[in-house]
Structure 1
Amino acid sequence: MKNRVLILGGQGRIGAGVARDLVSHTSMQVVITGRTKKTGPAFAEQLGPRASFMALDLADRSRLEAAIADTDLVIHCTGPFHHRDGTVLKTCIERRVDYLDVSDYRDYTIAALALREQAEAAGVTAIVNSGIFPGISNSMVRQAAEQLDKPEAIHLSYVVQGSGGAGVTVMRTTFLGLKRPFKAWIGGEWQEVKPYTGRQTVQFSQGPGSVYWFDMPESYTLTKTFPVHTVVTKFGVDPDFYNQLTWMAAHWFPDELMHNPETIEFLSQVSHQMTSVTDSFSGIGVRIRAEVLGLKDGQSARRTALLTHENTTAACGIGTGSLAELMLTGEVHKPGVWTVDEALPTPLFEKAMASRGIQILFE
């Protein structure tokens, strides 16, 4: 069993969630990093004797390479991944160290998957897009699809309550996702879709929620895993007035304004401050609906997986932490670069969710 984990960005909200999961459910040695000693040392002390902090700037290549070489698994949590290249993954391949990330950006994902042959030749298992969505949601799709003889269409819907317990980085990711139209696989062809259009009310396990088209890496990757003619990825926020504000930013703000980094930062900071107030009554949970349409015994059929969790960030930590545990114990060993749905067999996914008390319902 390998037992040393390096969490890049471990003092951020998402990275901290992953660290908590690993310390709670495994016996691994966890090293968390951050560019400064802002909160990291105190957080590592809070986690206990198996955790430590390392000051590390990803721009410092020599220190990054040394840190990666001294570990068994690197977990990359330093988003937004719109601003990341493949340096960390490439270094892991060169140093023959396994890799896991929480990336959620299509272009980054495509570039990472292009390194599959290099990772396979090096014997490195690298998995991208872990967490809650993408991540657990991908495995929910696989669960549902395997119950059909022939999956034909996938519809994914996500609703986050308030901030989801996440930090300002997630807000930046949301607003960056409004900057340009994206390609969606609809009816067997790629069609251009504008973010935050196509409002739809869908039923989750704890009531309805409103969702909109949003660019997710799984809108691309699931078309490669499953022979389907349609993949829909929609996202929304509860309370609904945040959806209205985001819709206005996507449709009313001039393109040149939304392409300005200062605008993105301003909107992100304002949104984070607003949700810090409204989280007290909205909650910070997440709802996922993964619906797969297809054929079963020659008849049209539908399988729908539903998940509800009270804390979005904690759920993300569970999705990544449980997969990291399976990689470190050798239960998931698949040299190459893969998405979660490609790398994680359903029985292992179900085992991992059960170990963390996550219940997935089917209808």
Structure 2
Amino acid sequence: MTDSVLILGGRGRIGSTVAHDLATHTQAQITITGRSAEFGKAVSLSSGGQVQFLVLDLAEVDKLQDAIANSNLVIHCAGPFHYRDTNVLETCIAQGVNYVDVSDHRSYTSKALNFSEQAAAAGVTAIINTGIFPGISNSMVRQGVEQFDKPEKIHLSYLVSGSGGAGITVMRTTFLGLQYPFETWIDGKWKIIKPYSERELVDFPPPYGRTGVYWFDMPETFTLPKAFPSVKTVITKFGSVPDFYNHLTWIAAHVFPKWLMQRRYMIEFLSHVSHSMTDVTNNFSGIGVAVRSEVTGQKNGETAVYCSTVVHENTAVASGCGTGSIAQLLLEGKLKKPGVFAVEEALPTDLFEEVIQSRGIKINHSWL
């Protein structure tokens, strides 16, 4: 019997790359959703019928429940997740359907993790925070942590060129991440950090080289300490190329009045202006991504540092690979872990290496 996959928000930049990845690597029948009908016929024709289109708004609860009930797997790509409730996840648990999402904000992650016991009782595997970062980045950390007798510190740095090939939603996510200070795990204590602060120059692989990154609120900031209890410090920093975007983002975080940054119309304005700017700069900066994971810890009685890096020419495509690979493993029955988990707790390193290599993504490792 053919597997049936429902991709909510499958018309968006990230959702469409997930659909493409699944169509390439599985035989599943894929249904993508969006809010307008014009798109449907073209999708079905271009995919040879493997991908179908369904007009669906997440507010249409009955229609959503029917669509989920007719699926083996639901992939939630309808962000930004700052605004989302857990209705889709709860419906999947009630219907006994496995769930994957591309969520990238701690508020949603915290809410989703609260349903882990219900998911486990229902035999539902729900894996959240998939994609490139969070997602592939979490698996890179797990791979690094496993090299140590006692891991102690994790430093994650992410870099995106221009728009990253993503749409307006990802721009919104960036500016929404600047609204509030956030908790970080430093020296075994929770500490409040200002967003886009403490610029640090980090060495990324070519073509990026030494580039500035800043504190950024990510789910990994609190899911990694939970997954790896011996770790006393987790740092998550983000930067953009060209570098002047970093300075503009810093101004938005530190100069604009907080009350203004907490208004939805301001987020919309900044997102659209930024997206228009990247339409120009993408031509010379590209739309790639780099992730660098550095784990420090004890190995054979000595302190050591293990560094992993990955580079991809298209951020949105890399995200599609990260989510699609986990979906593939669930469909094939290779990955089964009832409950709600972030990637680092759900995906064993051997399976991660297998599916990433099959997509032509190379992760480089070195001891520093």
TM-score for the superposition, normalised by structure 1: 0.99
Aligned length: 363
Answering whether residue 173 of structure 2 is matched by residue 173 of structure 1, we say: yes
Q: CA deviation at 1:24?
A: 1.1
Equivalent-residue separation in structure 2 for 1:212 and 1:334 (angstroms): 34
Alignment of 1:146-225 (within 5 A): 146-206=146-206, 207-225=209-227
Equivalent-residue separation in structure 2 for 1:17 and 1:171 (angstroms): 17
Query: Match of 1:129?
Result: 129
Q: CA deviation at 1:25?
A: 1.4
Q: CA deviation at 1:47?
A: 2.5
Query: Match of 1:45?
Result: 45
Equivalent-residue separation in structure 1 for 2:42 and 2:101 (angstroms): 24
Structure 2: unaligned runs, 5 residues or longer: none
Equivalent-residue separation in structure 1 for 2:315 and 2:331 (angstroms): 24
Query: Structure 1 counterpart of 2:217, which letter?
Result: D
Q: CA deviation at 1:256?
A: 1.2
Deviations 1:46-81 (A, max 9, x none): 223211000001001000000000000000000000
Answering whether residue 228 of structure 2 is matched by residue 226 of structure 1, we say: yes
Alignment of 1:323-334 (within 5 A): 323-334=326-337
User: What's the RMSD between the two structures over aligned residues?
Assistant: 0.9
Equivalent-residue separation in structure 1 for 2:160 and 2:293 (angstroms): 15
Could you say if the C-alpha distance between residues 293 and 41 of structure 1 is closer, same or farther in structure 2, counting changes exceeding 3 Å? farther
Equivalent-residue separation in structure 1 for 2:58 and 2:297 (angstroms): 44
Query: Match of 2:19?
Result: 19
CA contact (8 A) 2:2 2:29 kept: no
Equivalent-residue separation in structure 1 for 2:269 and 2:257 (angstroms): 15
Identity across matched positions, percent: 60
Equivalent-residue separation in structure 1 for 2:162 and 2:74 (angstroms): 30
SS at match of 1:301: strand
Equivalent-residue separation in structure 1 for 2:41 and 2:9 (angstroms): 13
Q: CA deviation at 1:45?
A: 2.8
Query: Structure 2 counterpart of 1:222, which letter?
Result: L
Query: Match of 1:83?
Result: 83
Q: CA deviation at 1:2?
A: 6.2
Equivalent-residue separation in structure 2 for 1:44 and 1:210 (angstroms): 43
CA contact (8 A) 2:102 2:129 kept: yes
Could you say if the C-alpha distance between residues 203 and 80 of structure 1 is closer, same or farther in structure 2, counting changes exceeding 3 Å? same
Query: Match of 2:283?
Result: 280
Equivalent-residue separation in structure 1 for 2:12 and 2:348 (angstroms): 29
Deviations 1:291-347 (A, max 9, x none): 000000010011111000000000000000011000011100011001111110000
Moved more, 61-70 or 31-40: 31-40
SS at match of 1:39: helix
Query: Structure 1 counterpart of 2:92, which letter?
Result: C
Equivalent-residue separation in structure 2 for 1:275 and 1:324 (angstroms): 31
SS at match of 2:225: helix
TM-score for the superposition, normalised by structure 2: 0.97
Query: Structure 1 counterpart of 2:78, which letter?
Result: T
Match of 2:344 among 313, 326, 341: 341
Q: CA deviation at 1:38?
A: 4.5
SS at match of 1:295: strand
Q: CA deviation at 1:254?
A: 0.5
Equivalent-residue separation in structure 2 for 1:336 and 1:277 (angstroms): 44
Equivalent-residue separation in structure 2 for 1:204 and 1:315 (angstroms): 17
Could you say if the C-alpha distance between residues 44 and 281 of structure 1 is closer, same or farther in structure 2, counting changes exceeding 3 Å? farther
CA contact (8 A) 2:195 2:253 kept: yes
Could you say if the C-alpha distance between residues 200 and 38 of structure 1 is closer, same or farther in structure 2, counting changes exceeding 3 Å? farther
Equivalent-residue separation in structure 2 for 1:119 and 1:285 (angstroms): 35
Equivalent-residue separation in structure 2 for 1:280 and 1:39 (angstroms): 27
Equivalent-residue separation in structure 2 for 1:188 and 1:129 (angstroms): 24
Query: Match of 2:114?
Result: 114
Equivalent-residue separation in structure 2 for 1:95 and 1:2 (angstroms): 19
Equivalent-residue separation in structure 2 for 1:253 and 1:38 (angstroms): 39
CA contact (8 A) 1:2 1:329 kept: no
CA contact (8 A) 1:33 1:40 kept: no
Equivalent-residue separation in structure 2 for 1:9 and 1:190 (angstroms): 35
Query: Match of 2:310?
Result: 307
Query: Match of 2:253?
Result: 250
